[in-house]
A and B are shown apart, each in its own frame.
Chain A
Amino acid sequence: DGGITQSPKYLFRKEGQNVTLSCEQNLNHDAMYWYRQDPGQGLRLIYYSHIVNDFQKGDIAEGYSVSREKKESFPLTVTSAQKNPTAFYLCASSIGSGGARETQYFGPGTRLLVL
């Protein structure tokens, strides 16, 4: 089955701790995205990557970091600098051809809670 997996489903962070959320896809997509979702809010873009070893900041990148060492993997680290990290985090991917139709497909999400 092709798809996007995210782990863990739930993650707990202690004060001052960095945590890393995993996102893996086997769709052979070039582009990958991280979004943050808060209750009653739309999706806000944190980081995106269109090719291996390259990524760009989205609208709310402060307090987050990413890497893209492999095409299929795009992990997100929530650093201690992110003061309000409690949210639902969604990873997505798309073909990345730059064409007009760049449908994004989403993983199941990770819920991050602060202890």
Chain B
Amino acid sequence: GEDVEQSLFLSVREGDSSVINCTYTDSSSTYLYWYKQEPGAGLQLLTYIFSNMDMKQDQRLTVLLNKKDKHLSLRIADTQTGDSAIYFCADKGPRGSTLGRLYFGRGTQLTVWP
């Protein structure tokens, strides 16, 4: 299946780390993505990870992938109030798919308190 699950809310204090979790069901997923959506705006690509990788780091962002458990996480170090947004996990279909379709979770609302 193509179900992607995320918890809906996360609150952290400014300066702490945030960890947003995601689970997916399609074991043949090739790429997994994290998008950020600020209020009233479109989705902004944050990062992605290929399914043969365990970890990817990009400045304050660290993505961890546990393919055995079909679990993806996004860690934001030194979280700032500007990081407050909705974060979507998305799953790309099987390798070689011509569809290019992404399956999205419902999004995690991250609130950062000063």
Interface residues of A (CB under 8 A from B): 4, 6, 31, 40-43, 45, 48, 50, 90, 92, 94, 96, 98, 100-109, 111
Residue of A4, A98, A108 touching B100 (CB-CB under 8 A): A98
The residue of chain B having its C-beta at the shortest distance from the C-beta of A45 within the complex is B101
Residue of A40, A90, A102, A111 touching B8 (CB-CB under 8 A): A40
How distant is the Cα of A6 from the Cα of B42 in the complex, in angstroms?
10
Instruction: Give the Cβ gap from B74 to chain A, nearest Cβ, in Å.
Output: 16
In the complex, the answer to whether B30 meets A100 with C-beta atoms within 8 Å is yes
Interface centre among A4, A42, A101 (most CB of B within 10 A): A42
Known: A98-B100, A101-B92, A106-B43. 15 other contacts (CB 8 A): A31-B100, A41-B106, A42-B88, A43-B43, A43-B88, A45-B101, A90-B43, A98-B97, A100-B30, A101-B50, A103-B48, A104-B102, A106-B42, A107-B42, A111-B40
In the complex, the answer to whether B31 meets A108 with C-beta atoms within 8 Å is no
In the complex, the answer to whether A42 meets B100 with C-beta atoms within 8 Å is no
Offer 22 A-B interface pairs, CB within 8 angstroms, sorted by A. A31-B100, A40-B107, A41-B106, A42-B88, A42-B104, A42-B105, A42-B106, A48-B99, A90-B43, A98-B96, A98-B97, A100-B92, A100-B95, A100-B96, A101-B48, A102-B102, A103-B31, A104-B45, A104-B102, A106-B35, A108-B41, A109-B42
Could you say which residues of chain A place their CB within 8 Å of the CB of B101? Answer: 45, 48
How distant is the Cα of A97 from the Cα of B99 in the complex, in angstroms?
9
Q: How many residues of B contact A (CB 8 A)?
A: 28
Give the contacts of B28-72 with A (CB-CB under 8 A). Answer: 30-31, 33, 35, 40-45, 48, 50
Instruction: Give the Cβ gap from B39 to chain A, nearest Cβ, in Å.
Output: 11
Could you say which residues of chain A place their CB within 8 Å of the CB of B105? Answer: 42
In the complex, the answer to whether B106 meets A106 with C-beta atoms within 8 Å is no
Interface centre among A48, A92, A103 (most CB of B within 10 A): A103
